[in-house]
Amino acid sequence: MKKNKIIFWLGIFFLCVACSRSSNPSELIARQFMDLYYVKADLAAALGSTDGYAHQKLQEGIQLTEGQAIAETTHHPKIQVSLLESHQEQGEADYLFHVVIEPTKASSIQKKVMLKVREREGAWRVTQFSDYDLEGGGS
């Protein structure tokens, strides 16, 4: 009986998680980019979800950081990303995200990130992105 309850509640949990995520392909690629670029700081992996200006911008970033490995002992900041706005038309979408970066030994930084996502040859790609710091971002 106890095992059935556990299975039931796990099923409910996974159903809630699945339903809370968007099935919108442009939003999925935008969220994937945000996770790879801002949260994991994996520019090479984020490159696969880009095209156009965003692709060029990431390639330049990769070249600038080439050979500069992050030490294993480095404390990675806690990063929270939330979607503020989205607007989609035929074949393109705009997303505005709020990012909070909380380093372990410094004040937090808040940013707004704007993404342009376009459908090209049947696949959605981030084609432009920019971010800016918010005033009073520190805590």
Going from N- to C-terminal start, the domains of the chain cover: 2-133
CA atoms of 111 and 97, how far apart (whole Å): 8
Residue 40: what residue type? K
pLDDT surpasses 80 at 83: yes
Class of domain 2-133: alpha beta
Helix, strand, coil % over all residues of the chain, rounded to 5: 40, 35, 30
pLDDT recorded at residue 105: 83
pLDDT surpasses 90 at 32: yes
Query: Tokens 């707004």 label which residue?
Result: 112
pLDDT tens digits, one per residue of 57-81: 999 999 998 877 776 666 778 999 9
CA atoms of 95 and 72, how far apart (whole Å): 33
pLDDT recorded at residue 34: 98
The DSSP annotation for 18-67 comes to HHHS---HHHHHHHHHHIIIIIS--HHHHHTTB-HHHHHHHHHHHHHHTT
pLDDT surpasses 60 at 137: no
Residue 50: what residue type? T
pLDDT surpasses 90 at 28: yes
CA angle (47, 49, 54) in 5-degree steps: 60
17 confidence band (pLDDT: 50, 70, 90): very low
Percent pLDDT > 70 in the chain is 78
CA atoms of 51 and 64, how far apart (whole Å): 19
94 confidence band (pLDDT: 50, 70, 90): very high
Closest CA to 102 of 131, 76, 69, 127: 76
Mean pLDDT of the chain: 85
CA atoms of 110 and 102, how far apart (whole Å): 9
